[in-house]
Amino acid sequence: MANKFLTNVSLASSNDNFHVMWGASRVMKAAGWNVMAHSNGTTKVANGTNANDGYWGNNSDPLTDTYPVFAAAAAWIVLRGPTTLKLNLTAAPTPGSNGDFVRGEIVTQTTSGATGILSGYVWDSSLLQGWMVIEPCTGTFDGTNNITGNISGAVATVNSIKFFTREVMFAKSSANQTDGTIYYVCADGYNEHNQLFSGVKLDGTGAGDGYLAQSTGCTASVAPGKGGTGNTFPSRAINLRGATSSTTHSTLFSSSTLVGRLQALAVNAVPSTGVSADGSFWMAASNNGTTNGFSVIGFTKLIDCEPGDIDPYIWFAPSGTTVGSWTQTATLAPSGTTYVNSTTVLGSTQVYWLGYLARDGYSTRDKVTYYRANVEKDDANVATIYGVNGLNQRIANHPSPATATLLRYHFSFVYYNSTTSEFFYKGKPKWMFCLSQGSGLDTSDSKQFICVAARIAGSQPAIYIGPYDGTTTPLI
């Protein structure tokens, strides 16, 4: 499988927010996300297949599907994405001929022959507890055989395994094309299938157990997690848009300014030899029909993340109409916590950064939280990043200094718990960065990234997302 794109697709009508979400479902499916359940507003299919996902589109190539104007149909769909493995350790790993395990190296399991990419491991020498996080590539890992690093030669002894899978649920309101719901969950695909919107275990069993899409409360017009018998919003899930355990929806992007073309991008979600599944995706559309930027919702993998993070992803979800404001003016406080204000975070009235603090970790940390997004390298003096004199920030070591690559900045996501006075670091987005130059519709890296928010001198850098298709010139 490969990265997939829908570029410069004209919206069916002005402010057709659902068209943008539909586009995201098409590229996700094309990139390897699997349809688990769906409804066209009239008929529920609790056990969906990629050959037929109802009113959403039925072609073997989802990128050739034709957008249906749903009108009064309360359609919904559940898509399942990449799996991450958590292998519990019985002892600290034994270094090999080239030292300790190297994050990012290929690892192989004895007997099963399964291979994967090591995301990291953690071990506490006092508690004698720890685990290893692996992104599978080939074969099927088990919970009994040793893991060996292909580069380091290090060996880890494991005694159990958990398979964490990801599901996204999209739904639209029956009232209009602007309102809808977006849910997300990362859950143990065998022991927590009551948390999955499909209600189905990774091996396909569990259908009919009465959980979420399989429940009587979930109907053709009531999406999984939207309430009713057996259809309560999962305690481990994340709500991006809409209400939980309720048929109420919310505006997906904006109420009256989403116009022009949609851009939908999805990263490969199918593992193969030497390649793990990524699963990141973006949906965007022109805002006000100008080059100032786009309305964007995204799900991106993280780099430089915590070594024991089971879900190294973060959501970029607007609560307002644009991605423009960069001043945090209010507190965002999940239960029992306080969110730290910063002058270098997308504004609370505009964008939420949402993710898990520690999925399957200690109970006090196994929760969903908002994150602060610092701009790295010069957080204390943001004016030098995107100020009046900050346009020409380029790397120094280059054959042509005057036209060298622009210096790029990533966000660094951190969480602060005021009760315990603890900071926790989440990581940096793999598919989003800032530059000191750029307007909406600009591209970077030979059209591998697209600018979705224009630079505003003294207040905002240009924001780029990707991967883009490498050939298309974006249009509004």
pLDDT of residue 467: 96
pLDDT of 324: 37
Query: Whose CA is closest to 211, among 219, 202, 199?
Result: 199
| Whole-number pLDDT of residue 378 | 52
Nearest to 300 by CA among 183, 413, 119, 431: 431
Domain ranges of the chain: 4-82+165-251, 91-156, 290-465
Task: Render pLDDT for 313-325 as a digit per residue (tens, 0 to 9).
Answer: 999 876 543 443 3
pLDDT at position 386 is: 56
- Which tokens is 391 given? 């346009």
Pairing of strands 449-453, 462-465: antiparallel
β strands within 73-228, DSSP E:
76-89, 106-109, 115-124, 129-138, 147-149, 155-156, 158-172, 179-188
What pLDDT is attached to residue 241? 87
Contact predicate 384/391, CB 8 Å: no
Q: How far apart are CA 211 and CA 218, in angstroms?
A: 9
Across 420-445, b (16+ Cβ under 10 Å) vs e yields eeeeeebbbbbbbbbbbbbebbbbbe
Over residues 367-382, the pLDDT tens digits come to: 888 777 777 655 445 5
The residue ranges of the chain whose pLDDT is under 70 are 51-52, 55, 70-71, 254-257, 288-292, 318-351, 376-391, 418-419, 458-459
pTM above 0.85, yes or no: yes
The predicted pLDDT at position 383 comes to: 53
User: What is the per-residue pLDDT for 334?
Assistant: 40
- Write the pLDDT tens digit of every residue in 83-96: 999 999 999 999 99
Three-class secondary structure of residue 254 per DSSP: coil
